[in-house]
C-alpha cells in the first residue's frame, strides 16, 4: 500500500482528483486529495491573507497530522511551487515527487516569474478589481476540457487567492533534487504558461545540473488537467512511480 498525497492547481480543489482518487483506492492505496485554503469546498475562507506559505502549510500539515511516510506527492500546475517547497522542508517523508504539468521554479522565483509580463499584468489587474484580491477562473477549455468534463470543471472552479502569485520561494536545490522526481508533460493542447517549465525539465543544466540525475519526464497526449481528461493514464504513471 502506498500513501498518495494529491495537490491541485489554481482555481481547482481536491475534487478535481476524484477519478484518480477512486482508482487508487480501489487498488488498496491510501489517498489524501488536499484542498488548499480558499479554494474548492474551502472557498469560504478566501481572503487577501492567504499566501504561498499558507498553501505550503496546508500540505505539510496534512502529511504530518496523518503521520504519513514514504509519500507519493503529486502536484498539479501552480502546486509545483508547493511540491518544491515540501520536498525542501519535508523531503525525508517523500518517496517520489510527481510534477503534473506543473510550475518548476528556480530558487527565489515566484509562480508569476515564468509568465509573460502581459499575463502578470492581466492577473494582477483582475485581482485588484475584487474585494478579496483573487483571480477569476479561466474557461476550462484552455485546459483542453470538452463537453461533460468542461461543464463539470466549470461548475466547481473558484477564484484563486491573489497573494500566492508573486511570492518568491527560497529552497535548496540539492535537498529537493535528493527526492526522486517525475515530470508529466501534457502536450495536447499544451498550456502556454507551463511552456518554460517543460523546457527546464529537458535542460541538463537546470538547477546547476541537479535536476537531471534523479528525474525523468513522461509525456501525456492530453490537456493541462489529466486528472480529469485522462485519469487512467495518470494513475498508471503514479503507480509506476510508487513501484
- Which of 77, 112, 185, 229 is catalytic? The answer is 77
At 26 the pLDDT is 97
Distance of alpha carbon 116 from alpha carbon 122, whole angstroms: 10
Residues whose CB falls within 8 Å of the CB of residue 78, separated by 6 or more in sequence, listed in order: 9, 10, 102, 103, 111, 160, 164
Dump pLDDT digits (tens) for 185-212. 999 999 999 999 999 999 999 999 999 9
At 174 the pLDDT is 97
At 241 the pLDDT is 96
At 214 the pLDDT is 87
* 19: pLDDT strictly greater than 90: yes
**In the block, residue with C-alpha cell 483582475:** 126
At 70 the pLDDT is 97
What is the percent of the chain where pLDDT is above 70?
A: 100
Helix, strand or coil, per DSSP, at residue 221: coil
Decide if 77 is catalytic: yes
Out of 3.40.47.10, 1.10.3720.10, 3.40.50.1820, 3.40.50.2300, the CATH code matching 3-242 is: 3.40.50.1820
Q: Give CA separation, 53 vs 15, 105, 161, 168, in Å.
A: 22, 15, 12, 10
At 69 the pLDDT is 96
Dump pLDDT digits (tens) for 32-86. 999 999 999 999 999 999 999 999 999 999 999 999 999 999 999 999 999 999 9
Amino acid at each position: 500500500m502506498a500513501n498518495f498525497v494529491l495537490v491541485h492547481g489554481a482555481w481547482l480543489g481536491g475534487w478535481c482528483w476524484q477519478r484518480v482518487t477512486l482508482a487508487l483506492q480501489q487498488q488498496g492505496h491510501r489517498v489524501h486529495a488536499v484542498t488548499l485554503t480558499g479554494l474548492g469546498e474551502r472557498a469560504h475562507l478566501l481572503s487577501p491573507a492567504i499566501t504561498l506559505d499558507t498553501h505550503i502549510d496546508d500540505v505539510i500539515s496534512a502529511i504530518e497530522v496523518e503521520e504519513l511516510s514514504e509519500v507519493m506527492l503529486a502536484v498539479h500546475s501552480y502546486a509545483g511551487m508547493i511540491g518544491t517547497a515540501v520536498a525542501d522542508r519535508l523531503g525525508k517523508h517523500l518517496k517520489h515527487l510527481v510534477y503534473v504539468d506543473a510550475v518548476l521554479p528556480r530558487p527565489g522565483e515566484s509562480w508569476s516569474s515564468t509568465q509573460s509580463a502581459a499575463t502578470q499584468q492581466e492577473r494582477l489587474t483582475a485581482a485588484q478589481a475584487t474585494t478579496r484580491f483573487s483571480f477569476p477562473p479561466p474557461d476550462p477549455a484552455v485546459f483542453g476540457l470538452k463537453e461533460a468534463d468542461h461543464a463539470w470543471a466549470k461548475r466547481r472552479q473558484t477564484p484563486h487567492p491573489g497573494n500566492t502569485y508573486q511570492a518568491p520561494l527560497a529552497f535548496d536545490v540539492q535537498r529537493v533534487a535528493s527526492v526522486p522526481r517525475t515530470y508529466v508533460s501534457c502536450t495536447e493542447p499544451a498550456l502556454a504558461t507551463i511552456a518554460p517549465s517543460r523546457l527546464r525539465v529537458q535542460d541538463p543544466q537546470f538547477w546547476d545540473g541537479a535536476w537531471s540525475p534523479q528525474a525523468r519526464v513522461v509525456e501525456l497526449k492530453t490537456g493541462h488537467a489529466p486528472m480529469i481528461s485522462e485519469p487512467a493514464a495518470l494513475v498508471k504513471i503514479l503507480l509506476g512511480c510508487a513501484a
